[in-house]
Chain A
Amino acid sequence: MQIKFTQEGGVGYFPVLSKPVTIEVDSLEQGEAEELKRLVESAHFFELPANVGTPPPPGAADYQHYTITIEEGGRSHSVRVSVPVKDDAVQNLVSAMQKQVKAARAAEIRSRAKPTADKKNP
């Protein structure tokens, strides 16, 4: 299972936070992978409509939405989730993904920072 997560909108624009992050679920630790799969299932992700949550009414500003695309076993589905999200199962899935996204970004930053650190301390 592969999950692609993109966050857009909000009170400011931050280039890194807006970059899509891809999570290879099967390369996660077994417990984490199982938990994510369970959340995808309980959100009935593949049955969700293309838009869920609360789309911004006219005059609203600084709204956020997420785009989640999941590929699994030859099928693929994309959902745009607009905050606020009333469906708890969808919200739990989003929270879990945000946690993974944060971890993936932190790992990327560490891997980029490493060579510089090595240069400083040969």
Chain B
Amino acid sequence: MYRKMYKKMCDRKPIFCVVPPYMLDAIARNGTPQQRTAALRTKAVDNTFRALRVATQPTRFAPGRSALPAPLAPALKRRSIYTAGNTQNLPGTLVRAEGQVQVQDVVVNEAYDGLGATFDFFQEIFGRNSIDDSGLPLDATVHFGNEYNNAFWNSAQMVFGDGDGVIFNRFTIALDVIGHELAHGVTEDESQLQYFNQSGALNESMSDVFGSLIKQFVKHQTASQADWLIGEGLLAPAISGVALRSMKDPGSAFDDPMLGKDPQPKHIKDFVNTFEDNGGVHINSGIPNHAFYQVATKLGGNAWEKAGRIWYETLRDARVRPNTGFKRFAHITYDVAGRLFNLNGQERAAVRDGWAAVGISV
């Protein structure tokens, strides 16, 4: 229908296809009678387009966001990196703003580049304008706390500790961890998956999926070339382990007396019921993480092109509710794969088989 209408409109006056509505108004007011007629006709079609775009939008809008499509302004990165100077005051002192040259401090530059890579990934691959799809400026604070062993998203910005150097290195060292934190913002904006039990594990898994895809995108890696590790380089040299998590083989990322053994399951039969970790959000995320890995490697090529697209559109799907669990989420990915690609296509079959590998049937 779009194409037909577009053709009809452009058969008349191609120039009006790119003329913004306010200029059409001016032409309608001040132009010759013929120009006036053409401008008004174009505007009528254009309004129909807008109405259609809103009506057929598959997603629901986050509270507080306009129900109208975002203006088609070019997506602009607006990064600000602050330092907390080893205190716990947020956001701290601005040390590098958008467009400013590199500074001496590697941590600041890693955060700046990581935010940039994350922004570019969402923009280039999914056409998303920042975390909220409305150009939200990206803020991060580094050197938070003293030897602080963590990174987190506080619902407005990212925060990175330096690590103690004994168990953890600096948290900006891993690009996928930066992507992970920002992706929490995307999830919050699109589906508000509650941060406990299965919906929380899905929230965590979305962050791992996008974090890993951002790393693969920057490294130009296909699904088979990628290591599928989350937070490689983050564990200090003396620790026996390769990363925080493995999407390829959940449960294998570390085994060290200082940390214990990686507790992630990769099959629903090993689901961990616990009150710790918000009901095991960083534990049971291994299950949907591994399902994504299975789907991406079955499809081959760049994981962000098909598997990533399916997961992203699922996150934006109105049927994903704040309390959605694994089974419902899996069903929606299967449905979305059919909608995006082909009902009988290999994409949908790969999604079905990927979930089957972790014991979830769709």
Partner of A62, one of B144, B184, B258, B259: B184
Interface string of B236-269 (1 = CB under 8 A from A): 0000000011000000001001111101000000
Evaluate contact between B153 and A62: CB separation under 8 angstroms.
Answer: yes
Q: In the complex the two chains form, what is the Cα distance from A86 to B84 in whole Å?
A: 12
Residues from chain B with Cβ under 8 Å of A62 in the complex: 150-153, 181, 184
Residues from chain A with Cβ under 8 Å of B278 in the complex: 9
- For residue B184, which residue of chain A has the nearest CB? A61
Closest Cβ of chain B to A11, distance in Å, is 5
Interface string of A8-43 (1 = CB under 8 A from B): 111111111110000000000000000000000000
Q: In the complex the two chains form, what is the Cα distance from A112 to B90 in whole Å?
A: 41
Chain A interfacial residues counted at CB < 8 A: 32
- For residue B254, which residue of chain A has the nearest CB? A14
Q: In the complex the two chains form, what is the Cα distance from A65 to B20 in whole Å?
A: 51
Evaluate contact between A11 and B244: CB separation under 8 angstroms.
Answer: yes
Partner of B257, one of A8, A16, A58: A16
Evaluate contact between A109 and B153: CB separation under 8 angstroms.
Answer: no
Counting CB contacts under 8 A, is A49 at the interface? no
- For residue B272, which residue of chain A has the nearest CB? A13
Counting CB contacts under 8 A, is B149 at the interface? yes
Evaluate contact between B195 and A13: CB separation under 8 angstroms.
Answer: no
Counting CB contacts under 8 A, is A69 at the interface? no
Evaluate contact between A16 and B260: CB separation under 8 angstroms.
Answer: yes
User: Contacts A61-B195, A84-B90: A9 and B277 contacting too (C-beta < 8 A)?
Assistant: yes
Counting CB contacts under 8 A, is B188 at the interface? yes
Partner of B277, one of A18, A54, A60, A91: A18
Counting CB contacts under 8 A, is B145 at the interface? yes
Closest Cβ of chain A to B134, distance in Å, is 16
Interface size grouping (class) on chain B = 35 or more
Residues from chain A with Cβ under 8 Å of B280 in the complex: 13
Evaluate contact between B155 and A59: CB separation under 8 angstroms.
Answer: yes
Q: In the complex the two chains form, what is the Cα distance from A59 to B155 in whole Å?
A: 5
Residues from chain B with Cβ under 8 Å of A84 in the complex: 88-90, 144-145, 159
Q: In the complex the two chains form, what is the Cα distance from A64 to B90 in whole Å?
A: 15
Evaluate contact between B260 and A12: CB separation under 8 angstroms.
Answer: no
Interface string of B318-343 (1 = CB under 8 A from A): 00000000000000000000000000
Closest Cβ of chain A to B320, distance in Å, is 15
Residues from chain A with Cβ under 8 Å of B184 in the complex: 59-62
Residues from chain A with Cβ under 8 Å of B48 in the complex: none
Counting CB contacts under 8 A, is A102 at the interface? yes
Q: In the complex the two chains form, what is the Cα distance from A109 to B238 in whole Å?
A: 14
Closest Cβ of chain B to A51, distance in Å, is 16
**Which residues of B are interface residues toward A (Cβ below 8 A)?**
88-90, 144-146, 148-156, 159, 164, 166-167, 171, 177, 180-181, 184-185, 188, 192, 195, 203-204, 207, 231, 244-245, 254, 257-261, 263, 276-278, 280, 282-283
Q: With contacts A59-B153, A59-B192, A61-B204 known, what are 14 further pairs, Cβ within 8 A? A: A9-B277, A11-B231, A12-B231, A16-B260, A18-B277, A54-B154, A58-B155, A59-B184, A59-B188, A63-B154, A83-B145, A84-B90, A86-B88, A102-B166
